[in-house]
Chain A
């Protein structure tokens, strides 16, 4: 390695007159004056001046002893060990935006559903906060025959603990047909490997009821604006709740496929279908009420956010 350095320098010096011949008309340029930078008299005084500019082009300065290789010198991240204020650095005046307050309202689904019965469905989430801590409002529900049939709204605090995951804690309120129910909520939300969006939330209600809601979806880009989204949702409950028409165990699941076209990022109409299946006691309750246990639904709607 060491032997190559002088060789490289010689070659650099050899290249020099060649370029000099092409460019410099001034005979001074070929003088080969030693640059003052290389000598021992080089000092801090020269820092601002450009010695290379005083003379015209000449040989590059011979290198000092080879520099210690990267990684061999005492190393640190350079932290001063004191705050910005200690050095007169004024954070307010600097006004950097490295953790701004951001709000986003996403109506992931706002659709008209055509199945055995027709209805309107919404599914949205509102996020307000900073990079690592946010306030969330999530809501989904169904409206038919002029009134809300089955809906829920959650108020949650999110804490982002890893690059792709946020833990959520809060409350959920179920309303619509039948008595309303309230739950405490604890779950996670994020992006799983292979780019699946995942929401998994556990709930604790009164009389020790528990519930689990799972949602996962994937965005497949057919083109830059045409996006196909398969989605799987499931609800589980620990106890029957006849008044709300849910049974214990796996209560219902739906598999949807929506194709949206992003006219703008924030506005994307879509069409798709949804296969809805009820299980166990939930299916029984459904049958007795005359509502469909299995439904193949066509959906059309818009996905908007701002």
Chain B
């Protein structure tokens, strides 16, 4: 995609470092028609919903204007996000995708079980769709729920080629609701994504405007004294790492969209007070973790990655790239509510409104303080930390003052409850033993010791109940994987017979990403034997979150004590953590397996899984 007009980020960035966007921006805004896909505007009319069993989708470059600067987007049918596809479980559907762009394209149906040639990954599952060509995808729909689709060619996903899929189940849902809205979160940059990638290679913290400064040092010193502030700063500098390495691409260049609408544009979902609303949240962004809450409304999570979970009531959830969460809300007052989705690094937010009438706005919360990573997020064994005693006692932690006035928002140390005691708001007492804890990392592949990998974790947490950096102890009930239990249990009751252990690795300084220190092009395919039940163990040696997605097969996450936890298609692995999940290799063919952060994937954190 040629994009000659490069917009520079606004020179005057203050604390809210993002572009608010146009009020009436979006796809086709460049043509003066000033519309976004109708399903993405207010309820209830949805002419840009495509349903049935036969679909014709055009991949086409189309002018958009989200920020006041006209740009070209890669779209489906000229819309960003792409049309909402409504399928029915059990149908055989046919999607004729015609590429009207001057470059090769593709569509991957994220989380959908289907034969390998229908999976849409050029070079792996098929040849891609050349300019002018039409590819006919056809498969039987074997599942129901909320999913999404996007390009798997180059950086087209970043420039607008993503859309929602809602699959009607054969049986009615085990809960009722009066309204049903897709809430698709995404990130838009006016820059050419090739340029974004180049910037990251030239200067890895190019978009990071939350790096620790002298000002931060002074603030830390005021809280904890100069000795501890300086020694914490020195500890990070010695490792040549930064505790503020949260997002590679931030609000410095991104505008965050809800259903393709900027915060200024205020996408609104209508309701009548007392109604129950099903919100299908999809993180269709390229690089952004969103922390989502609706001040004034409790959310009940009823599905994750399209699969029903036992309902759990929460105030806030973190949704990683490519994940989906269905929540029910029940607004009883005749007022507007803000659907507030802040980027993990607090460099901006996506904003939408639930209201009884169009044009209403609710108060928008302030952005939370910028999170700061702790040594446990680095995967360091506690004893190695200067100023800490071997037992990991709280007393001498640099930068931390336990008890008293220290606000824990500033310092995040999830592994700190070394005694294995349950965290304060654990629901179930017996969970304490099965909550997991810190385990030593016994093995690193030899390839992890080269220039492609900067750090190796010594010790990682197996806990699933950590809300994550920036959400700990914030006074809100935050969703964790430990809260999610798939209805019906594991699809395959067999235990795994072998393990594949992979480390998530990278050299942040040079923006190199890999598994086990080996980038995709230098690796070999990973082989699953058809019919086997295996376990994948992922250890995060890096300081960033990675949402790992296996195409074509479910990832059945295990709890720390080895039971089935939740079925997902995308599993987010936090820094300093280890996860394990079971896979039934029940679909032959070549399947992509990768971090869903687009620039990490392109940068080498990708593998080809062959099921043969």
- Say whether A and B bind each other: yes
| A interface residues with partner B (beta carbon < 8 Å) | 1, 4-5, 7-8, 11-12, 15-16, 19-20, 22-26, 29, 35, 37-38, 42, 44, 46-58, 60-71, 73-84, 87-100, 102, 104, 131-132, 160-164, 191, 193-195, 220-224, 263-265, 305
Q: Chain A nearest CB: distance from B232 CB in Å?
A: 13
Indicate which residue in A54, A63, A73 contacts B497 across the interface (CB closer than 8 Å).
A73
Given A19-B310, A44-B531, A96-B606, 14 new contacts (CB under 8 A): A4-B433, A8-B434, A26-B174, A61-B488, A71-B537, A74-B498, A80-B526, A84-B524, A84-B525, A94-B124, A98-B519, A221-B214, A264-B11, A265-B206
Contact between chains at B430 and A163 (CB < 8 Å): no
Contact between chains at B499 and A80 (CB < 8 Å): no
Indicate which residue in A8, A35, A163 contacts B431 across the interface (CB closer than 8 Å).
A8
Knowing A60-B489, A64-B494, A93-B122, say if A5 contacts B525 (CB, 8 Å): no
Knowing A63-B563, A71-B442, A84-B525, say if A98 contacts B489 (CB, 8 Å): no
Knowing A37-B490, A93-B123, A98-B603, say if A77 contacts B500 (CB, 8 Å): yes
Contact between chains at A7 and B430 (CB < 8 Å): yes
Knowing A4-B430, A75-B500, say if A89 contacts B590 (CB, 8 Å): yes
Indicate which residue in B462, B488, B509 contacts A163 across the interface (CB closer than 8 Å).
B509
Identity of the chain B residue whose Cβ is nearest the Cβ of A93 in the assembled complex: B123
Specify which chain A residues have a CB less than 8 angstroms from the CB of B89 in the assembled complex: 50, 53
Q: Chain B nearest CB: distance from A306 CB in Å?
A: 9
Knowing A48-B143, A53-B169, A89-B525, say if A24 contacts B202 (CB, 8 Å): no
Decide yes or no whether B604 CB sits under 8 A from chain A: yes
Q: Give A160 to B171 CA distance when docked, in angstroms.
A: 58
15 A-B contacts (beta carbon < 8 Å): A37-B490, A38-B489, A50-B169, A57-B174, A67-B496, A70-B499, A73-B498, A74-B498, A77-B502, A80-B527, A81-B524, A87-B610, A95-B153, A193-B239, A220-B214
Q: Which of B256-264, B286-294, B351-359, B447-455 contacts A (4 or more CB under 8 A)?
A: B447-455
Knowing A91-B123, A161-B451, say if A305 contacts B202 (CB, 8 Å): yes
Q: Give A49 to B492 CA distance when docked, in angstroms.
A: 11
Identity of the chain A residue whose Cβ is nearest the Cβ of B524 in the assembled complex: A79
Knowing A60-B487, A83-B524, say if A73 contacts B535 (CB, 8 Å): yes
Q: Chain B nearest CB: distance from A42 CB in Å?
A: 6
Contact between chains at A11 and B428 (CB < 8 Å): yes
Specify which chain B residues have a CB less than 8 angstroms from the CB of A195 in the assembled complex: 237, 240
Specify which chain B residues have a CB less than 8 angstroms from the CB of A131 in the assembled complex: 451-452, 510, 512
Q: Chain A nearest CB: distance from B558 CB in Å?
A: 7
Main secondary structure of the interface of B (DSSP, over half): loop
Knowing A1-B561, A12-B485, A42-B493, say if A97 contacts B310 (CB, 8 Å): no
| Centre residue among B451, B485, B520, B612 by max chain A CB count within 10 A | B451
Identity of the chain A residue whose Cβ is nearest the Cβ of B604 in the assembled complex: A98
Specify which chain A residues have a CB less than 8 angstroms from the CB of B240 in the assembled complex: 164, 191, 193-195
Specify which chain A residues have a CB less than 8 angstroms from the CB of B234 in the assembled complex: 194
Knowing A53-B171, A84-B608, say if A37 contacts B509 (CB, 8 Å): no
Q: Chain B nearest CB: distance from A14 CB in Å?
A: 10
Decide yes or no whether B203 CB sits under 8 A from chain A: yes
Contact between chains at B488 and A60 (CB < 8 Å): yes
Which B568-612 residues have C-beta < 8 A from chain A?
578, 580, 582, 584, 586-587, 590, 601-604, 606, 608, 610, 612
Knowing A98-B520, A222-B214, say if A68 contacts B562 (CB, 8 Å): yes
Decide yes or no whether B170 CB sits under 8 A from chain A: yes
Identity of the chain A residue whose Cβ is nearest the Cβ of B600 in the assembled complex: A98
Q: Count how many chain B residues have C-beta atoms less than 8 Å from C-beta atoms of the other chain.
A: 121
Specify which chain A residues have a CB less than 8 angstroms from the CB of B526 in the assembled complex: 77-80
Specify which chain B residues have a CB less than 8 angstroms from the CB of A92 in the assembled complex: 123
Q: Give A4 to B397 CA distance when docked, in angstroms.
A: 34
Q: Chain A nearest CB: distance from B165 CB in Å?
A: 15
Contact between chains at B174 and A56 (CB < 8 Å): yes
Q: Give A35 to B582 CA distance when docked, in angstroms.
A: 19
Contact between chains at A104 and B202 (CB < 8 Å): yes
Contact between chains at B123 and A95 (CB < 8 Å): yes
Contact between chains at A90 and B123 (CB < 8 Å): yes
Knowing A80-B525, A222-B214, A224-B211, say if A19 contacts B311 (CB, 8 Å): yes
Specify which chain B residues have a CB less than 8 angstroms from the CB of A87 in the assembled complex: 525, 590, 608, 610, 612
Q: Give A74 to B562 CA distance when docked, in angstroms.
A: 16
Contact between chains at B501 and A77 (CB < 8 Å): yes
Q: Chain B nearest CB: distance from A105 CB in Å?
A: 10
